[in-house]
Each structure stands twice: as structure tokens, then as C-alpha cells.
Chains A and B, each alone.
Chain A
Amino acid sequence: MLNSQKKVYIWVGILFFIALSAILLYLFHNLGPNPGFVLPRRRLRVVSMTVVAIAIAYSSVLFQTVTTMRIFTPSIIGFDALYMFIQSVMVFFVATGGYFITGVPNFLLSVGIMIVFSLVIYSLVFRKGNQNIHFLLLAGMILGTVFSSLTTFIQMLIDPDEFAILQNRIFINFNSVNEDLITVATIVMISAILMSLFYVKYLDVMVLGADAATSLGANHRRLSKIFLLIIAMLVSASTALVGPATFLGLIVTNLTYQLVQSYKHKYIIAIAVLISIIAVVGGQFIVSRVFNLATNLSVIINFIGGLYFMYLLLFKNQKASS
């Protein structure tokens, strides 16, 4: 038992070192003759990539524990589809003569709507008093489909110029980060994490399911609500910066579970966050400096993620079905 704890510390150390080197490499590799110009821009990108990486890893771990499903990410209940829908609606209003909301007000409005959405979905599911998490997933999946269909529909209606604005916002892109949103997204992410700190200890018993958690003194219903709120904030922050990238969460969390077989969420979260930073910052470093932007990080993530997902389904299936 002490042994496994030691193993966790060693992994945290190793991953921390790799993550730090990835960040330093990204910042200082090949600075060129003009560091005064290059460095601040790189710094901004590293900060936003780190925020995205933390938000994705953290929200995925929370979501998987609350639902006790380890092959899901928040995108399954339509969180990022909703974000894209909100953006499309906002762009659509330019075309119809309304005014276009951009920057920080846009982001805060989106976060607000996302939070309201998570509360609506929560009350939909828990209204009847049966705490059925599968119903939550089903309802969310359907709503997610509705949102993405409506998004596509709106995209058909708007003219190509406006579509270009939208494209910039809703297609995942680690190269062009929405820099004007970094500060506010960071604040939202940090406040979400601070909010969750007090409740993290309950995650350890929530993996046992609603009834067992209740029996051990964790108010499963209230905690689910709180965690859904926190997830909504985190997904908003990451989606606002780079677009829908929660697929990364699936890879990161499952790599974490393979690496450390611990039920203690403080370790799981720490390691998931570190792996996520390595994947995003390290991956972006490789894409931009090694491949010279010949390809896109999201393409690589989706490719590796897809393969990994198939591996999980085909070879790790015994546990999910039992």
C-alpha cells in the first residue's frame, strides 16, 4: 500500500518534470534574434494552453466520477455543442441587424447560459426523485444533438463572411488562441477549481455510486449538482479559448487510470492535469517547431484519441460490461 503511494509520487515528479520542460521548450526554443517580440506572445499562448489543458483534464475527471462512467467526457451531454450553438446564435444576430457581442461580455454570457443549462439538465433528471445517471446522459446526448443540428442549420443561413468569424470561434484550433479571453477564462477556471477544492474529498466515495456514497455520508444529489456547475465553468473556459476539445479529456483520464491505480482523486486529478499539459503544450511544440505547422494538433489528438478509444472499447471492455 505504501508502495503504490510512493509510485504515485514518483509519477507526479516525472510528469511534472516533463510538463515543465515542455513549457520551457515551447517558450525558449529557437527564440531567434527578436526575443522581446517573440517571448510575450509565446508566454500568452503557453498560459492559455495550460488553462485549456487543466480545464479539460479536471472537467473530464469530475464528469467521469460523477457519472461513474470512465469512457465519457462532458461533451457527451452536449456541453460543448451548446457552447457552439450560443456562438452561432450570436453571429447570426449580426446578419439580422442585431448587434454582435464579442470578447469578454460574449464569454461571460456563454458561461452564464452554460451554467443555467447544467442546472436545467440537472433538475430534469432529478425532478422525480430517481437519481438515474443514465437518464442524465440520454437527455444530454439528445440535447447535444439538437444543439449541433441547430448550429449547422444556422450556419446554412448566415453569409460566408460571418461564417468565417464563426469558424474561427468554434473549430478547435490550438494555433490561434482567442487571446482577448485569456484573463477572464483563467479567472473562471481558477474560481471553478477553488469552488471544487472543498468537495474533492467526496469524489473518492462517489465512484461507488449514488447509494453507497449516500451511505458513507456524501450527499450525492447535492454534490452532483455542484460538480455539474463546476464542469460547466471549466468546459466554457476551455471551449472559449480553443474550441471543443474535450476528446482530449478521454485520452488523458484513461491514461491516468492506467498509470496509477489509485482511487484517491487528489492523485488522479494531479496526474491527469500534468498529462494534459504535456499533451497540449508538448504536442503544440512538436506540431509548430518539428512539423512546421504542416499539420494541426487537433488532428493528431483526434487520430490518437480515436485509436485509443477503439482500444478501450475492444480490449478493456470486460469491466464496462460487468
Chain B
Amino acid sequence: MIKLLNITKVYEKKEVVKDLSLEIEKGKITALVGENGAGKSTVLSMIARFMKVNNGEIMLDGQSIRSIKDLEMAKKMAVLKQMNVANVKLTIRELVELGRFPHSKGRLTAADHQAVDQALEYLTLHNIQHQYLDEISGGQRQRAYIAMVVAQDTEYVLLDEPLNNLDMRNSVNIMKILRKLADELGKTIVMVIHDINFASAYADNMVALKDGKLIRAGTVDELMNNACLNKIFGMNCNVQDVCGDKVCVYYKSS
């Protein structure tokens, strides 16, 4: 379980996260939602140790993340931030091999190769595994990065806007894969996501932030209602039941 205790982050004298306390449930998909600048990505970066916390403590399975060694941390938690193509020519398979780095430190064993094969299989990338990252489509590239995370074989997976720049079909595809990772492999997934309806359809829990403060945390059902969404996004939201999912209609909101 990831536990945030009274987290504060100050950026150029501005508090971007204020006294935030939060528990993230194991084995579930948790979506961080909120406006631009609400502090979602900052929270994710702090859990990932990309940024230092100014105040407070983040606990991972009862241990402060500050006391965990770098390589140990990388065996517990995988983070995917930007999916931009690296500046090197890498094939899909090579990228996924890099996901084994915390385990192999660069010398891949038979077990590592097997894990890479499984990850490629899992993301249905094995047919194109020798293609270069800059020669495939955005959706395939995103799957390649997620395969890297799968190969890293961590209990926790953090994702920052995994659907960024993806079309509808690829978005659905990615979300289904993430759902599978949580259900079949028992991974705890935390993601920042802007499309509230994707969060509603695929996440278990939602955490809503505004101006660096927690507005509400709970299950999707608890948060997907007009009053709550109005407060989170500061606009009129109209939540409807469509085909068993709660869908927020906001396109012509006043």
C-alpha cells in the first residue's frame, strides 16, 4: 500500500501540494483526476521520487520511500512519465530489455530473456519486436513502453497520462491492458488521467485534487456524480448511466 502522510510541495514559494494525506489501495487502479495545475503530476512525481517532498512522508508497504535503495525501489515500483522517443535507436525488444535493468543490471540472464518474451507476448508486440521505436505508430510505442514496465515486474505501476495523444481505439486498448495487469497480475496502478470517462469505465478508485488539496477520494461510484464533479472541475457536469458505465457529459457545459 502507498500511503501519503501530510505531503507538502513548495515550488518557487508557491505551495503546489498542500498537506495531502492519502492511501492508495493495493491491487486496484487508482485514477488521479483534477484540473490542469491541480498537482496530480507533482504527487505522482513525488511518489516516484523524481521530486523531493518538502514536508511529510510517503510510505511504501510501511517503509519510508526515502530509506529504500534506488535499485530496490526500481524492483517495487515502475514509473512511466513521458513516452517520447529516446534519442537513441532502440528496437521494441531492446526497450523492454531495459525494463529488466533493476534485476539484471545490464547482464541479461535466461530468466530475464523469458520475462522480456512474456512482456512482449502480453502486449502482443512479439511480431514486431525487432522494429525501431521511431518507426512504429504512437499506439504501438505506448504499448512498447508499457511492455517495459511489465518486464520490470514491479508491484506498483505509476503512469502519467498514459492516453496522451492516442486515438480512441488505442486508448481503449491501453486501458484494457492496464485492467488486465491489475486483475491478472495483481498490480497496483496509479495514473494521472484527464479523460474522466475512461477513469470511470476502467478505474476502481478515484482521487480528486484541486489547487494541491484533496477534494475527495473514494470509489468511482462515489465520485461520479454531478455535485462532486462540479466541484472538482468547476463546471457543470452531467453524469448519465450509459450501458452500465457512468458517463459524464460536459462538452456543452456552461
Residues of chain B with a CB closer than 8 A to A319's CB: 87, 134
- Which range contains the number of B residues in contact with the other chain? 35 or more
Quick check: A215 and B88 within 8 Å, CB to CB? no
Residues of chain B with a CB closer than 8 A to A264's CB: 106
Partner of B71, one of A129, A217, A261, A320: A217
- Count of A-B residue pairs with CB < 8 Å: 77
Given A70-B87, A207-B86, A322-B85: A215 and B74 interface contact (C-beta under 8 Å): yes
B20 interface hit (Cβ, 8 Å) = no
Quick check: A215 and B48 within 8 Å, CB to CB? yes
Q: Which residue of B lies closest to A3 (CB)?
A: B130
Quick check: A214 and B48 within 8 Å, CB to CB? yes
Quick check: B86 and A201 within 8 Å, CB to CB? no
1/0 per residue A1-29: CB within 8 Å of B?
10000000000000000000000000000
Quick check: A214 and B86 within 8 Å, CB to CB? no
A208 interface hit (Cβ, 8 Å) = yes
1/0 per residue B23-61: CB within 8 Å of A?
000000000000000000000000011111000000000
Q: Which residue of B lies closest to A211 (CB)?
A: B81
1/0 per residue B74-94: CB within 8 Å of A?
110111111011111110011
Docked CA distance A13–B57 (Å): 53
B8 interface hit (Cβ, 8 Å) = no
Residues of chain A with a CB closer than 8 A to B99's CB: 216
Nearest CB of A to B76, in Å: 10
Given A201-B106, A204-B98, A204-B106: A215 and B87 interface contact (C-beta under 8 Å): no
1/0 per residue B100-121: CB within 8 Å of A?
0110011000000000000000
A279 interface hit (Cβ, 8 Å) = no
Partner of A263, one of B52, B70, B88: B88
CB-contacts of A119-176 with B (<8 A): 129
Quick check: A263 and B82 within 8 Å, CB to CB? no
A209 interface hit (Cβ, 8 Å) = yes
Interface centre among A70, A212, A218, A322 (most CB of B within 10 A): A212
Partner of A211, one of B50, B71, B75, B102: B50
Given A68-B87, A69-B87: A214 and B49 interface contact (C-beta under 8 Å): yes
B152 interface hit (Cβ, 8 Å) = yes
Docked CA distance A115–B130 (Å): 42
- Which range contains the number of A residues in contact with the other chain? 20 to 34
Quick check: B87 and A263 within 8 Å, CB to CB? no
Docked CA distance A87–B79 (Å): 47
Docked CA distance A214–B86 (Å): 15
Given A70-B87, A208-B98, A216-B102: A322 and B134 interface contact (C-beta under 8 Å): yes
1/0 per residue A187-222: CB within 8 Å of B?
000000000000001001101111110111111000
Partner of A215, one of B52, B78, B85, B105: B78
Partner of A214, one of B50, B75, B82, B89: B50
Quick check: A1 and B130 within 8 Å, CB to CB? yes
Residues of chain B with a CB closer than 8 A to A218's CB: 70, 101
B73 interface hit (Cβ, 8 Å) = yes
Q: Which residue of A lies closest to B107 (CB)?
A: A201
Docked CA distance A129–B209 (Å): 23
Quick check: A211 and B79 within 8 Å, CB to CB? yes
Docked CA distance A216–B101 (Å): 6
Given A216-B102, A216-B152: A208 and B73 interface contact (C-beta under 8 Å): no
Quick check: B87 and A207 within 8 Å, CB to CB? yes
Residues of chain A with a CB closer than 8 A to B102's CB: 216-217
Nearest CB of B to A277, in Å: 24
Residues of chain A with a CB closer than 8 A to B134's CB: 319, 322
Quick check: A1 and B93 within 8 Å, CB to CB? yes
Residues of chain A with a CB closer than 8 A to B105's CB: 201
Nearest CB of B to A111, in Å: 30
22 contacts between A and B (CB under 8 A): A70-B88, A201-B105, A204-B98, A205-B101, A207-B86, A207-B87, A208-B86, A208-B98, A209-B86, A211-B79, A214-B48, A214-B49, A214-B79, A215-B48, A216-B102, A217-B102, A218-B70, A257-B89, A261-B89, A263-B90, A319-B87, A322-B134
Known contacts A209-B82, A263-B94; can you find 7 more A-B pairs with CB under 8 A?
A68-B87, A204-B98, A209-B84, A215-B74, A216-B101, A217-B102, A263-B98
Residues of A within 8 A of B (CB): 1, 68-70, 129, 201, 204-205, 207-212, 214-219, 257, 261, 263-264, 319-320, 322
